[in-house]
């Protein structure tokens, strides 16, 4: 999502009908207020503003370690409008719209919240309201900045619905086929019913439904130059099940041919059409924006080869260029940064292959492309369009390449903040393997929740083989 859309979590109410603070109810191993705010953050909404009031002394510490803005509503007893007032006052001018989310809707998902933003972007509407198949409107609700002043002027126990009648022509409807996603918690009985329903209907990861794989490489298939355990059995599984698969990487410094050769050296035979690097995806993105564009590029051979293969002209920086492309550059110099800065300030969009702040060497971490992007963004005041994980473009290209749907495509990765978050934001099931960057002790504190966690590839393969054998047994017994 390129637009600046904030999330406002309305968590200040006294829960008088419920009998105890709804903000503190346990959901998925964490308090409800943390769960809802984590969902909003995982959807890519920025900033995530949490308005607290009742039970603030208990709620605030739960959010302290999260990347959220905490806003205190000391007038929460005067009604819902007071929370809207303080939230609007906290939003910076750069925020173009805000999605207002009640704290008591535990079944909302990152993908649902993203659909609000997509509807706003594509329709040009100022208000986006969800609607069930029966025609019932619900929450959350998105309001564009043009309505912020009216929201801030509301008083009493009145919410944003007060604007609907006067602005019917500015409302877009978001169809939500599963009305449970919009369910809220008004009573303990309703909460228990919703919790039981969610638990009984939840399948952490149904491997039998997977038809395609988007698999990270470094930290999953190998570390440095050494193959990780289970590599050959993993590719045997892919072959045996006929799975569509694309191996992806945020590393832009190598070409697909080099990755094919690296896998061949580890005993795995594959082809370049199964490799998608952030450099290749970036070149596709730029070529779609302007075929044959002149590009000033920073990066290694992977970036330069990808630009050439997409018919883009790599410029030495002496002429006017259409785009500046930033890939991970082991030979980055002040002069390269200065040239890129000049072109960006002259109007050339900055497109970055990936946002990784660090790059894993065999025995240490080194500065990654994200650190280089930060230098250009600081010098120009211009935000980069990022193609690699967790931005959606890389995975979207992988899905298009395989022809599989999101719900039947599994993302396998070793980093919560890139591999897993990228999958979550597109509504893909995700599997974290603990052979790379992210470790098990991070999971309890992270706002990013993978669908499943495996110690390594052998554990994933065993689980998948067991699923297949059970499926075959059911067919035989049936």
Q: DSSP label at 55?
A: B
E-strand spans in 37-96? 48-52, 69-72
For the ranges 15-24, 52-61, 83-92, 236-245, the lowest mean pLDDT is seen at 15-24
Instruction: Note whether 219 and 231 are within 8 A (CB).
Output: no
Tell me what the mean pLDDT of segment 436-443 comes to. 91
Active site positions, annotated: 216, 218
pTM here is 0.81
What is the predicted pLDDT for the residue at 3?
A: 62
pLDDT digits over 373-410, tens only? 999 999 999 999 999 999 999 999 999 999 999 999 99
Domains in the chain with CATH codes: 5-201 (3.90.550.10), 207-250+390-477 (3.40.50.1000), 278-386 (3.40.50.1000)
- pLDDT on residue 364: 79
Question: What pLDDT, on a 0 to 100 scale, did the predictor assign at position 473?
Answer: 58
**E-only strand ranges, 104-221:** 127-131, 141-144, 171-175, 212-216
Residue 107 has pLDDT above 50, yes or no: yes
CA distance 88 to 69: 13
DSSP class per residue in 164-187: TGGGGGGEEEEE-S-GGGG----S
Report percent pLDDT > 70 for the chain.
Answer: 96
């Amino acid at each position: 999502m390129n637009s600046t859309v904030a999330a406002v979590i309305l968590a200040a109410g006294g829960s008088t009908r419920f009998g105890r603070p709804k903000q503190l109810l346990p959901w998925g191993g964490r308090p409800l207020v943390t769960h809802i705010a984590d969902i909003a953050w995982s959807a890519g909404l920025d900033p995530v503003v949490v308005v607290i009031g009742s039970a603030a002394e208990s709620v605030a510490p739960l959010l302290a370690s999260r990347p959220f803005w905490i806003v205190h509503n000391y007038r929460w007893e005067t009604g819902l409008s007071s929370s809207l007032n303080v939230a609007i006052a906290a939003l910076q001018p750069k925020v173009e719209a805000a999605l207002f989310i009640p704290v008591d809707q535990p079944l909302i998902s990152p993908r649902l919240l993203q659909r609000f933003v997509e509807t706003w972007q594509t329709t040009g509407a100022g208000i986006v309201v969800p609607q069930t198949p029966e025609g019932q409107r619900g929450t959350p609700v998105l309001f564009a900045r043009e309505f912020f002043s009216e929201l801030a002027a509301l008083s009493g126990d009145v919410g944003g619905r007060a604007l609907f009648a006067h602005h019917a022509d500015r409302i877009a409807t978001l169809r939500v086929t599963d009305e449970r996603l919009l369910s809220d918690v008004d009573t303990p009985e309703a909460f228990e019913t919703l919790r039981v329903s969610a638990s009984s209907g939840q399948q952490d990861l149904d491997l039998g439904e997977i038809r395609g794989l988007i698999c990270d490489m470094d930290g999953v298939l190998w570390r440095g130059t050494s193959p990780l355990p289970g590599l050959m059995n993993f590719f045997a599984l892919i072959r045996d099940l006929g799975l569509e698969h694309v191996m992806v990487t945020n590393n832009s410094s190598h070409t697909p041919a080099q990755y094919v050769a690296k896998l061949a050296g580890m005993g795995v035979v594959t082809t370049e059409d199964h490799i998608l690097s952030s450099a290749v995806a970036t070149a596709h993105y730029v070529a779609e924006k302007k075929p044959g564009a002149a590009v000033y590029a920073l990066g290694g051979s992977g970036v330069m080869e990808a630009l050439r293969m997409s018919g883009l002209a790599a410029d030495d920086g002496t002429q006017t260029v259409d785009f500046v492309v930033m890939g991970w550059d082991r030979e980055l110099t002040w002069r390269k940064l200065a040239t890129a800065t000049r072109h960006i300030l002259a109007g050339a969009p900055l497109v970055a292959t990936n946002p990784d702040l660090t790059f894993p060497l065999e025995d240490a971490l080194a500065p990654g492309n994200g650190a280089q992007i930060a230098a250009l963004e600081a010098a120009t005041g211009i935000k980069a369009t990022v193609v690699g994980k967790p931005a959606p473009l890389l995975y979207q290209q992988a899905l298009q390449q395989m022809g599989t749907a999101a719900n039947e495509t599994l993302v396998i990765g070793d980093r919560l903040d890139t591999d897993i978050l990228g999958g979550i934001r597109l509504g893909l099931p995700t599997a974290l393997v603990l052979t790379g960057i992210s470790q098990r002790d991070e999971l309890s504190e992270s706002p990013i929740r993978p669908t499943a966690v495996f110690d390594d590839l052998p554990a994933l393969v065993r689980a998948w083989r067991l699923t297949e054998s059970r499926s075959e047994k059911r067919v035989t017994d049936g």
